[in-house]
Structure 1
Amino acid sequence: MNRTSRPSSIWRPRLAALALVCAAMPTARAQAPHRPPTRPAPAQPATKTPAPAPVLAPIDAVALPDQAPLDKQIETIRKILPQAKRVGLIYDPGEPASVAAIKQLLDLLSKSGMNPVEVTTPHEWDVGPAVRNLIGRVDLVYTIFDDKVAAQYQVVVQTCDQARIPLFTADPAQVRLGAMASLGLPGALKQAGPAAGRTAPHRPVRPERTVAGAWLYLNLDAAARQGVAVPEDVLKSAVPVNPARAANTDQTKNGLLKADGVKP
């Protein structure tokens, strides 16, 4: 062996081993499992506790507006219209006070031998169609304290006048707007004054003008338009009311009732 071949004999085994290592590296890389980059888990939304359902007061517990007892109001209607059987009721089904009043009326009308005919007014624009729906189906219409009906009361009055349907109300202020009669608590005139920004004059009540501890307010013009001849004994116990002027019929401004030249 000469000197020139000695270095190659020394490095040849090492180069062969290095070549084997390099050849094995891609294989190892190929066999390694692919692991995607780790991502943080998305945050879970906080669980919302459902709001408790509102607790609705029982119908019997809903406070009604200050008014004459409903049974006395029905008695008064029967005195004026003894032959009437079918009573039209207009109200907002979403107003608890209205629903409570209607529930009481249904029971009282049934006991008195009268049949209620209900129409509902969820919106103000439903009042006109509702009252027109009563034409030919009722002997009279009775309105309770109801904001939706009150906002369109002139429509109720005009329809009842044209169809000659007697119109009664629980709200004495609406007698001046065109309802023919209402049985109101004593002092209803004074109660209407502050709401209209005016002070009602204080007048003593004559005993003969009270009905079951209340005043019977009567609009004779409306009674005539609606085809009712008021019995003489009822006239003696009534407080005649002037109708509101056509140019100023807003019930908020004209909430004050006036006796028609007759001192109550």
Structure 2
Amino acid sequence: VTDFEIAKLVKSNDKPGTNVTGSSDMAPINSLLELIVKIYPNAKNVGVMYSSSEINSERQVQIFKEEAKKYNLSVREATVSNVNDIQQAAQSLVGKVDLIYTPTDNTIASAVPALIKITEKAKLPVFAGEGGEVKGGATAAIAIDYYELGKIAGTMAAEILEGKAKPETMPIQYQKNFKTVFNEASVKNLGLTIPADVKHELVK
């Protein structure tokens, strides 16, 4: 879950007020935007692809659009309702945007190769919300680590079971340390130069 409050699972992310708490997979959107403008300083238009039926994706896109204003980036949305829409949505952005951003979105994540088939041909970089998409061919991500999130949730559960905390007063927790990952084939295809001061990992 990205935003427990938006998903109506808790009264507030800081103080749940229900018997639900946990770890959020909210990606560091502002850090990703910083990376985007560092690599593509002349970018003006960003395409955003996500599923219109996923509340968590809509929330991330809302944040992305707000943050993008700070960098004078114009955002063009292309929504999908299922995996069959992905190629058409990607094609609708070709020639109109400088790059594409995908939030942590189940529909997009389940069909990354379909997206990459279009973007690779169009030499359009894809910045993703999670690292798994980079392994699938997206250009880069400041990656959410679901294993790390599981450990955070496990620690929270242990505290509740040991009586040290109650879910209703335990704030939603977030990943604090992120890795920047690039896809080697995408970097090569785009002729991309990664700035020397960007600490990163390459995946194949």
Please confirm whether the aligned pair reaches a TM-score higher than 0.5, indicating the same fold: yes
The structure whose Rg is larger is: 1
Q: Counterpart of 2:127 in 1: which secondary structure? A: strand
**1:218 corresponds to which letter in structure 2?**
F
Shift of 1:230: 2.2
**2:179 corresponds to which letter in structure 1?**
W
2:179 equivalent to 1:215: yes
CA 1:232–1:64 in 2, change beyond 3 Å: closer, same or farther?
same
Q: Counterpart of 2:138 in 1: which secondary structure? A: coil
Q: CA RMSD in A?
A: 2.9
Q: What is the alpha-carbon distance in structure 2 between the residues aligned to residue 97 and residue 192 of structure 1?
A: 16
Q: What is the alpha-carbon distance in structure 2 between the residues aligned to residue 170 and residue 223 of structure 1?
A: 17
Q: What is the percent sequence identity of the aligned residues?
A: 26
Shift of 1:86: 0.8
Q: What is the alpha-carbon distance in structure 1 between the residues aligned to residue 120 and residue 92 of structure 2?
A: 15
Structure 2 gaps, min length 5: 1-6, 14-21, 152-175
Other-structure match for 1:80: 39
Other-structure match for 1:20: none
Shift of 1:82: 1.3
**2:76 corresponds to which letter in structure 1?**
V
Pick the aligned partner of 1:145 from 96, 101, 104: 104
Pick the aligned partner of 2:86 from 127, 131, 135: 127
CA 1:189–1:91 in 2, change beyond 3 Å: closer, same or farther?
closer
Q: What is the alpha-carbon distance in structure 2 between the residues aligned to residue 100 and residue 141 of structure 1?
A: 17
State the structure with bigger RCO (CA 8 A, min sep 6), 1 or 2. 2
TM-score by length of 2: 0.72
Shift of 1:232: 2.7
Shift of 1:213: 4.2
Pick the aligned partner of 1:224 from 178, 185, 188: 188
Pick the aligned partner of 2:115 from 156, 161, 165: 156
Other-structure match for 1:254: none
Other-structure match for 1:240: 202
**2:192 corresponds to which letter in structure 1?**
V
Q: What is the alpha-carbon distance in structure 2 between the residues aligned to residue 221 and residue 173 of structure 1?
A: 15
Q: What is the alpha-carbon distance in structure 2 between the residues aligned to residue 100 and residue 149 of structure 1?
A: 15
| Structure richer in strand, relative to its length | 2
Structure 1's consecutive aligned runs of 4 or more residues displaced over 6 angstroms after TM superposition are: 61-64
Q: Counterpart of 2:72 in 1: which secondary structure? A: coil
Shift of 1:220: 2.5
User: Is this contact kept in 2: 1:67–1:184, CA < 8 A?
Assistant: no
Q: Counterpart of 2:75 in 1: which secondary structure? A: strand
Shift of 1:120: 0.6
Structure 1 gaps, min length 5: 1-55, 195-211, 244-264
Other-structure match for 1:70: 29
CA 1:193–1:164 in 2, change beyond 3 Å: closer, same or farther?
farther
